[in-house]
Amino acid sequence: MPELEAYFHYRYLDVSTLKELARRWKPEILDGFKKQGTHQAMDDIRESVAELSYYREHFIKL
C-alpha cells in the first residue's frame, strides 16, 4: 500500500467541481465533452483525466 499511497497528495483535484463551475459560468462548454460511461475503474480514471484536460484547455485556458 505505501507504493499506492505515494501517488496521492492532500490536495486532491475534483473534476466534478470544475464541471459544476463550467455548468454555472459557461454552460456551452459542457457540450464539448461526453463521457462513455463504461464504469470500469481504469476507463473512469482515463476519462476523468481527459475531462480535466478538456476543461483546462477550454474553460480555464491554461
- pLDDT per position as a tens digit, 1-54: 778 778 777 777 789 999 999 999 999 999 999 888 888 999 998 999 999 999
Catalytic residue among 10, 12, 54, 55: 10
Residue pair 6/13 in contact (Cβ under 8 Å)? The answer is no
- Round to whole Å and give the CA distance between 53 and 34: 13
Number of independent structural domains in the chain:
1
- Round to whole Å and give the CA distance between 59 and 25: 9
Note the pLDDT of residue 19.
93
Query: Domain containing 17: what range?
Result: 2-58
Based on the residue annotation, tell me whether 10 is a catalytic residue of this protein.
yes
C-alpha dihedral over 40, 45, 49, 55, to 10 degrees?
60
- pLDDT per position as a tens digit, 14-26: 899 999 999 999 9
Reported for 8-13, long-range contacts at CB under 8 A and 24+ positions apart, including other chains, are 13/52
